Amino acid sequence: MKKEIRIEGMSCHNCVRHVKEALAVIDGVTSVDVNLDEGRAIIECGNIKDDYIKNEIEDLGYQVVSIESY
């Protein structure tokens, strides 16, 4: 399963690194791509609750606008 996460508040490559590292350590995540220009992250993962992902990102100080699964 893939999830696209729209994120506000990322302003530099350090922000991208923080988000990427936080998502990569979530149990079940197999791939992470974070795009600063588009303000989004795409992860490949198993069955992970959206609220868990949202909390992990928002704990870093960024805002999750939406999460879509496909």
What is the reported pLDDT for 35? Answer: 98
pTM above 0.75, yes or no: yes
Please report how the helices 50-58 and 13-24 are oriented relative to each other, as an axis angle in degrees rounded to 10: 140
What is the reported pLDDT for 70? Answer: 93
| Mean confidence (pLDDT) of the chain | 97
What is the reported pLDDT for 49? Answer: 96
63-69 and 29-35: which strand pairing?
unpaired
Residue with tokens 């999460």: 67
What is the reported pLDDT for 62? Answer: 98
What is the reported pLDDT for 23? Answer: 98
The list of the chain residues with pLDDT below 70 reads: none
What is the spatial distance between Cα 64 and Cα 20, in angstroms, rounded to a whole number? 14
Whether residue 51 contacts residue 65, with contact meaning beta carbons closer than 8 Å, is answered with no
What is the spatial distance between Cα 52 and Cα 65, in angstroms, rounded to a whole number? 14
What is the reported pLDDT for 44? Answer: 98
